Structure 1
Amino acid sequence: MDQFNFTMANFTLSPPGLQSQPSLDSKHLALLVVFSLFFSVGVPGNIAVIILKPNWEHLSSLSQSLVLNLAVSDLLSLLTIPLWIHTCLHGWTFGLMACKITSCVVYCSIYSNLLTVMGLSIQRYLVVVHQMGCRQVREKLLLVLLWLVACILSIRHVVVKELVLDEQWADCRSLYSSKGKQMAALMTEVLLGFGCFSVVAFLYIRIQIKINKAAFFNHPQTTRLVTSIILSFFILWLPYHTINVLSVAAISLKNEFLMKFCTSTRRIFAAVIFVQSCLNPFLYAFTSLKVCAVCLKSKPLQQNQSMPPNPDLILVA
């Protein structure tokens, strides 16, 4: 998420030794309120998932590990919100090293989020569509590899992050030595984003088709849940990646007006991504109780058909 910063361009910096008096217009004030809402809702929700592990007795070990990892990655990204709110009001005052470390944490957690959601989708697809158990998978090794990939993907953000004086305000942002490198970075994000969404959408659609064909799984709760997962993932990420595509077009066409539009709107759509971190606890953890009830009702039917109950069937939740 290049240029991931929320410094307000129309703020003015007071002379040294005097307290700054930033002026907030309605747009910037609304952004601060939204960030505060994300923090107040998302942080307690993900902490509750980590501590309480709601209704997880029917979840497989791998599913528990992935949902827990999703909550941890969401929590890490949400915990950086106070820093961005401070930046909105006072600029980046924490130094270059803190700029790079914070950016690394944000991007690493976001990439971990994407990979975990895709991992959950693959697991559910294998269990529900192909009736393949995942008990032989080593959860710790899988999570280590997942975070390793996330860290590798986030390294470039650490390298390009610099402190830039913007309207006399220090700003933590990405600087590229050439337009080609910037275009390559944007294309990497676009391909990764649309690639993850395509995989998630395809797998959940196949899962939904399988569920509709199974009489004991024909329940509106599962349909609403699968639909909400796909739609939330699509709606919250599509605008940001669309802006990245437009940015690539602006660089290729050397269109300064389009580039300025993409730069200003990217900050807004980058902020919207935090909504996903707030929704994940409700989509993947707290909804398990109702779907557990559906799966438990299916056990007598499974037993009558000489089929052993599969705890992984709850993974449709």
Structure 2
Amino acid sequence: MEFNNSSTSLNDSDYDYGNGSGAVLIKLCEPKTYGELTGICYITICCISLIGNSLLLYGLARFEDLKRVTMLFILCLAVFDLLFTLTLPFWAGWIFGEMACKVFSGTILLGFYSYMMFLTCMTIHRYMAVVHALRTSLLDARRGRLYTHLTCTFVWVASASSSLPEVLYSETETGFMGVSCNLNISKEVELIVNWLQILLFFLIPFLVITFCYARILMTIQSCQMRNREHTVWLILCIVVGFFICWAPYNVTIFLHSLSALWIPSMATFAWEKGLAYAYYVTHIMAYSHCCLNPLIQIFGGVKFRRYLAICLIFCIYFSAYFCCNCCKIPYLRVIVLHDKSNLV
């Protein structure tokens, strides 16, 4: 997910910090400041995502019917968010060797590709359920579940296949910020990868999602389908949040690809420096997408707020019960047990 090839628009003798163009771009920012701010952002993203997605998974598994297509897709989004999140703490500096470099590089792209594909599938499912409700209702439940499982399997296989180049060509390199894990490919291959990523995993899904939601909103307004509004708006919030996170990053990749094609107006140091700062900001925005799904589900959905409240209540009760046992406060222990019995 980083710029990984050499940038010949800069003087390599003046900036000899490694072969990856991601490193060339980032080194134009202050390395110390970059490392500190990135570490803070990654820690914040990890904490919010781990807690939020774990609560979301528990709420889905404990209280929801996972035979419903929408709930199954949201469950898959939460799983891929966790996969994506678990790789973030390891990118500050690489000490785990080349094999781990390949695995983690593939995992982070697996999380991104699958998230985009599941988001598109969720939107298409909502489109069919709202715009073509009669045709969808003729589908029996067993066949609908079969289609859902086939869709999930296809997304897993397609995402894993798309992330294979990252697994095969990722290598450890020693640069200006120590040992790093980068994609070692030629400039021509990098351009192809960047353009395919923008086209297949951002532009086409965005056009499909935009078309589907335009038709969905028109249908809801014309037919006054109030019972479907909440689910549609919830998924729409996820899509809009994802676009806000990933659109700037993909634009930055696009501009980097243009400068790599030796467009004269872009082959300047000032342009590369501006692109470096843009990459620094937009890649953190992009990585923060793993926090969106749980936040939208928990604070935008009434049921998930109720699940969160139940989880917090039980956490408080069990914490108080544990503390009372440790501190040997019998009166408080009786109160806790009494309140817990009333809750049940």
Fold-level match, TM-score > 0.5? yes
Could you tell me how far apart the structure 1 residues matched to 2:58 and 2:241 are? 25
Q: Which residue of 2 aligns with 1:95?
A: 97
**Residues 1:79 and 2:86 aligned together:** yes
> What amino acid maps onto 1:265 in structure 2?
A
Could you tell me how far apart the structure 2 residues matched to 1:241 and 1:72 are? 23
Q: Which residue of 2 aligns with 1:110?
A: 112
Contact 2:194 2:254 in 1 (8 A): yes
The change in CA–CA distance for 1:210 and 1:168 in structure 2 (over 3 A counts) is closer
The alignment's C-alpha RMSD in Å is 3.1
Q: Which residue of 2 aligns with 1:47?
A: 54
Which shifted more, 149-158 or 163-172? Answer: 163-172
Q: Deviations over 1:95-135 (max 9, x none)?
A: 11111000011101111101110110010000011101463
Matches within 5 A, 1:265-284: 265-284=278-297
The change in CA–CA distance for 1:287 and 1:223 in structure 2 (over 3 A counts) is same
Give the total of aligned pairs. Answer: 274
Could you tell me how far apart the structure 1 residues matched to 2:220 and 2:85 are? 34
Unaligned runs of 5+ in 1: 12-22, 292-317
Q: Which residue of 1 aligns with 2:254?
A: 245
Q: Which residue of 2 aligns with 1:154?
A: 163
Could you tell me how far apart the structure 2 residues matched to 1:112 and 1:249 are? 27
Contact 1:236 1:276 in 2 (8 A): yes
Q: Deviations over 1:31-83 (max 9, x none)?
A: 22221111111111111121221896477522222111110000100111211
Matches within 5 A, 1:225-236: 225=234, 228-236=237-245
> What amino acid maps onto 1:108 in structure 2?
L
Q: Deviations over 1:7-52 (max 9, x none)?
A: 87499xxxxxxxxxxx843x54232222111111111111112122
Q: Which residue of 2 aligns with 1:169?
A: 178
Could you tell me how far apart the structure 1 residues matched to 2:218 and 2:118 are? 23
TM-score, normalized by length of structure 1? 0.75
What SS does the aligned partner of 2:278 have? helix
The change in CA–CA distance for 1:77 and 1:61 in structure 2 (over 3 A counts) is same
TM-score, normalized by length of structure 2? 0.70
Deviation at 1:277, TM superposition (A): 1.1
Contact 1:250 1:256 in 2 (8 A): no
Q: Provide the identity percentage.
A: 25
Q: Which residue of 2 aligns with 1:187?
A: 195
Could you tell me how far apart the structure 2 residues matched to 1:245 and 1:24 are? 27
Q: Which residue of 1 aligns with 2:317?
A: none
